[in-house]
Structures are given as structure tokens and as C-alpha cells.
Amino acid sequence: MGKTVDQTRMAAIARDGTAGPNGLPRRFHWLDFLRFMAAVSVVLHHYYFFYFDGLAIPMSKEEMVARFPSPLLGFFFHHGKDAVLFFWVLSGFVFAHTYFQRPADGPSFAIARFARLYPLHFATLIAMLVLQVASTQLTGSAQVVGNNDARHFVLQLFLVSAWGLQAGESFNAPIWSVSAEVGVYLVFYLMHRHRLFQTVAGQALALLTAIAASQWIGSGVILACAAFFFAGSLAYLLVRDRRPADFVIAAVLAGAALAFPNALTLFGERQTLLVPAFALVVLSCAWLDIIGLPGGRAAGHLGDFTYSVYLLHLPMIVAALLVVDLTGVADRGFLSSPLWLTFYLAAVFGAGIVCHRRFERPADRAIRAWLTARREAPATEPGETYAG
């Protein structure tokens, strides 16, 4: 007689020694691998920044795509940005897995988020400040991103650069998605603290509320982030509880989302259909860990350094463009060579690995230990090494 799904799951967990809350894996390695693939998508999408001349794009999008070293880059140019939305779904899943099994503790939650996100954000913000000041002084123009003024520096400093107070992108522009997520963290914590919506029906209500609000009061990045985030936490509850009725609720929710055709408009496109699509991908991939698909642990390590890659790649592009301008290279044809693309990817991911090991992870641990010691609480929290 064949094994049931639960028997297979428990055998895999026992074999790996990674039992977590409710008998689920403590860490979903295949989801970490998806995080890595999403980072690759964003890095490839932003390859077009190399074609900027200061703050201007001297050619049409079609001409730019035609110059890419690989036709595949054309796909990432048009769709790689959607990986940011996928990050939000992953975060919702991981946060639910991490926090739904424990009492809410505001200080511990805030310390964990601050230690995880802020040190590298601050370091890359200062790096972009130095690079853009140098570029403006030496070449007469900033590189790629404008609005590098005191107002936007303060917004970035406090991680509120996507809260509607900005005039546009500034400094280390990719941080906008983290800024939006910080706003959702506040909502998530308040819901968790009061034990609200920790059921599939509750998460479905929160998700549908975000979509409806986006339609009625205008699409904003925080509402969009909330929709994708709660889709991730909903996917987690489906994986954890595995009740047929819950899947019916989720299917009804997916259909109800279609009633809001103008909701979740980001990047000039309607993104509502991506909410159930990305949630289904996350749910399916989480099942690979539950059944113990081999290779997950090795593949999952690739997701460890994605935050470093995400925040480092734009400063590295700006630095490269500044060097090109200062050396007087008039012909940028080399940017369209496969060799340069390979170098770019190797440099970004190599720097991400080094930064994660030498700065991001040590800073996270040191700040968390220091802050928690001041309130006489444990210095680490299970599952927090990869949340967010």
C-alpha cells in the first residue's frame, strides 16, 4: 500500500530534521529558490539602466530591446518587474509561517524587522548619495534616478519613500517595494496581535478588502502590496490546514477578484490576475518541501543573499555608468555583448554573496542581539533568518 501525503511529509521532515510548527518544514527551501529566481528576474529587468545617458533614455524601448545581448532579455525587460510582486507573496507566506504560531510581541517584531532590513538599506542609501553627488559634480547629471534631494533622502531614510509623499523614484530606487511592505507589516502585526483573520476566510477577507480599496480609492503600492502579501499568507493557511472547504473559499475569492477590473494597477498594467497566479505558484512550490523533493536544501541556499543582490545592483550599475562617463567612452556598444551581461550578473551576485556573509547577516545578528539584550529578551527568533 502506498504512503499517504501526510506519511510522506512526515518521513521527509524526519529525514531532514527540520520539523517546524504544526509538523511543517521549519524552512521552505524551494520557496527560497523561488526568491532567488525572482531576484534574477529583477536584475535582468534592470539591465536596461545601462542604456541611460544620465537621466535620459536616448532610444525607444524597441531599440533598446533590439540591442540586448539575448532575446530572452526582452522578456525580462517587459515582465521582470513583476517579480517584485512575487516577492510580496513570498513574504506573506513566510510571515504567516513564522508568526501565526506564536503570541504577538511588538518589540520583538519591530527589532527583527529593523535588524533584518535597515542596515543594508542605510548602507546602500549612503552609497547612492555619494555616487549621485559625485556624478552631478563631475558629469553635470545624476545617473539613472533623479529626485536625489534632501526631501527624498529623508523619505528613504525612514523607509517611507513609497507612501505617497514622493515626487518619483530617488536614490536606491528598488527600495520602494520594501517601503510598501513596511506599511503592510504594521497592518499584519495589528491583525496578528488581536488574533484577527488567522483563518482562510479571514485572510481572504483582508485580501479582497485590499483589492476593493485599490479599485475605489485608486491604486497605490501599499494596497497592492497588501493584496499580494495576504495572498501569500492565505496560501500558507491552505498548506498548513489542507481543508477542502478552504480551497473552495480560495477559489471563490479568485473569482471575486475579477469583479474589480481596475484594481491593482502597477507599472501601467492591471495586476489583479497575478494575485491568484502567484499564490498558486507559491502554494505548489511549498508542497515540494512538504513531500521532501530532493535538492531543496541546496537550492534554497541561493535565496539567502537575494536582499543583498536586490539593494546592491542599482548602485553597481550607477558606479559603472559613472566610470564610463569619466573615462570618456563614447561607444557603449560593449554593453550589448554577452560578455558584459555575464560580467554584470557575476559581479552583482558575487557582491551579493560577499555582502550577505560579511555585512548583512553579521549586522542583523549584532543589532538584534544588542537591542533585545536591552529589553532582556532572547537575541534570535526561529524562522527570522529568511523572513521578508
Contact indicator for 141, 54 with CB cutoff of 8 Å: yes
CA 341 to chain centroid, in Å, comes to: 23
**Residue 273 has what DSSP assignment?**
T
Residue 278 forms beta bridges with which residues?
Answer: none
For 291, the 3-state DSSP assignment is coil
Residue with cell 549586522: 363
Confidence of residue 272 (pLDDT cuts 50, 70, 90): confident
In this structure, the dihedral spanned by the alpha carbons of residues 380, 17, 235 and 271, taken in order and rounded to 10 degrees, is 70
Segment among 61-70, 109-118, 143-152, 228-237 with least mean pLDDT: 61-70
Please choose, from the candidates 152, 150, 189, 183, the residue with its C-alpha nearest in 3D space to the C-alpha of residue 167. Answer: 152
> What is the per-residue pLDDT for 40?
93
Show Cβ contacts of residue 157 under 8 Å, excluding neighbours closer than 6 positions.
122, 125
Show Cβ contacts of residue 315 under 8 Å, excluding neighbours closer than 6 positions.
124, 127, 128, 131, 172
**Does any domain span residue 54?**
no
The pLDDT of residue 14 is above 70: no
Segment among 24-33, 254-263, 271-280 with least mean pLDDT: 254-263
pTM, entire model: 0.87
Confidence of residue 377 (pLDDT cuts 50, 70, 90): very low
Amino acid at 167: A
C-alpha pair distances (Å), 45 with each of 67, 68, 78, 280, 303? 14, 11, 7, 23, 18
**Does any domain span residue 81?**
no
d(CA 89, CA 342): 29
C-alpha pair distances (Å), 219 with each of 84, 163, 223, 262, 308? 16, 12, 7, 8, 29
Amino acid at 16: D
Segment among 37-41, 54-58, 87-91 with least mean pLDDT: 54-58
**Does any domain span residue 337?**
yes
The Cα angle at residue 29 between residues 35 and 174, in degrees rounded to 5: 15
Select, from the ranges 94-98, 191-195, 253-257, 307-311, the one with the highest average predicted confidence (pLDDT): 307-311
Residue with cell 502579501: 229
The pLDDT of residue 223 is above 80: yes
d(CA 40, CA 91): 17
Range of the domain at 231: 87-374
d(CA 219, CA 270): 10
Show Cβ contacts of residue 180 under 8 Å, excluding neighbours closer than 6 positions.
88, 162, 163, 221, 222, 224, 225
Longest dimension (CA), the chain: 74
**Does any domain span residue 294?**
yes
Q: What percentage of the chain exceeds 90 in pLDDT? A: 38
The pLDDT of residue 2 is above 80: no
Pairing of the two strands 265-266 and 269-270: antiparallel
Residue with cell 533598446: 64
Number of structural domains the chain divides into? 1
**Does any domain span residue 241?**
yes
The pLDDT of residue 250 is above 60: yes
**Does any domain span residue 387?**
no
**Does any domain span residue 2?**
no
> What is the per-residue pLDDT for 378?
46
For 355, the 3-state DSSP assignment is helix
Confidence of residue 120 (pLDDT cuts 50, 70, 90): very high
Q: Report phi then psi at 199, rounded to 5.
A: -135, 165
Residue 164: exposed, middle, or buried by beta-carbon count in 10 A (0-12, 13-18, 19+)?
exposed
User: What is the number of alpha carbons within 13 Å of residue 185 lying toward its C-beta?
Assistant: 20
d(CA 37, CA 98): 22
Residue 266 host element (H or E): strand 265-266
Averaged pLDDT, 347-366: 96
**Does any domain span residue 122?**
yes
